[in-house]
Structure 1
Amino acid sequence: MRHSDYSIRTATPTDLPDARAVMLDTVYRDFGTGYVPRWHGDIIDLAGAYLTPERHTLLVAVDEGDGEVVATGALDSRGPAHPPNPAHVAERFPSGVTAQLRRVYVRPEHRRRGLARRLVEELLAFAAADGGYRAVYLHTDPAVTGAEPFWRSLAKVVHDEREDVGGGQGIVHFDVPLPVPARVG
């Protein structure tokens, strides 16, 4: 079977229904939670969460063979909130100066082809070009197949809730190195 070629680009309003489908399929299939408004409200209002705010973005990976959106990746300027996240994590990554990576999801049949890594590289370039971000943060649910090893290959663990008394939410929090923007001139 031939691997498809993919393009990665900033989402347009016409991409939003397909991007939303990738995200909702992921929260139902991989997370087992289904849609939870307090956690997933951005999925319903993708334009308001990622397209309208200047310092936010939503990227899509498109299968060039059939034009299907097969992966997503987003970034916003909201740090992790306490609660539910540990206080020291929220303090380390304040809103406004923290770029949070969100919704880096790849449809199962398109995984292991470098799409998530390419999406993250583009999101990090966006954060660096912004000039106002001092840190990049993300958290992941280690129950999602492949998620924890992927993020450990790109980022440093700052807190693993599984080590907390009672296991916390079971979430792993990461600090992603912010690339230094290339100087022009």
Structure 2
Amino acid sequence: MGETEQEQIKVLIVSDSHGRNDNLRKAVANMRGTHCRMLHAGDFQCSPQEIYDLAGVPVDMVRGNCDSSLSGVPLSRIVEIGGYRILLTHGHQYAGIDSIGNMSEMARANDVQIVVCGHTHIPHMEKRGDVWVVNPGSISQPRQPGHQPSYLVMNIEHGTVDFVPVYLT
């Protein structure tokens, strides 16, 4: 994993803010001073610059199905953080009977260990073989029981990764 495995890295993972950035601001404030990066899995429905300014840290983002006018933002991308290769995608293009299986197969084909997706507005974390597929849910329009806006915190320390779901009230 290299020299970064000795560092503690915290990454804020969000999706589906849909231009309603109040909860996104809360998530950033909760992480202030502790995270080094943000991943946004699409459907932000505002200018990318607004997300960059709000985050205050480097941001990797992809376009969701509601971001069709933002052609300069890719549908998916692979980023490397703390020795892990991460496929960042909104996920709508993998929808189907086994969308998690489809994404994990795409990850394996690209030597990726983590898939970060959105689209469903429902938080989910699952390990398929050696690939994590995680969805932070929606920071603004949750669909899971209880309908609490949610995001994930990814922690990488000493070469291991874990994901902590956070629910806003």
| Structure with more contact order per residue of length (Cα contacts < 8 Å, sep ≥ 6) | 2
TM-score, length basis structure 1: 0.31
Whichever of the two has the greater Rg, that structure is 1
- Structure with the largest fraction of helix: 1
- Structure with the largest fraction of strand: 2
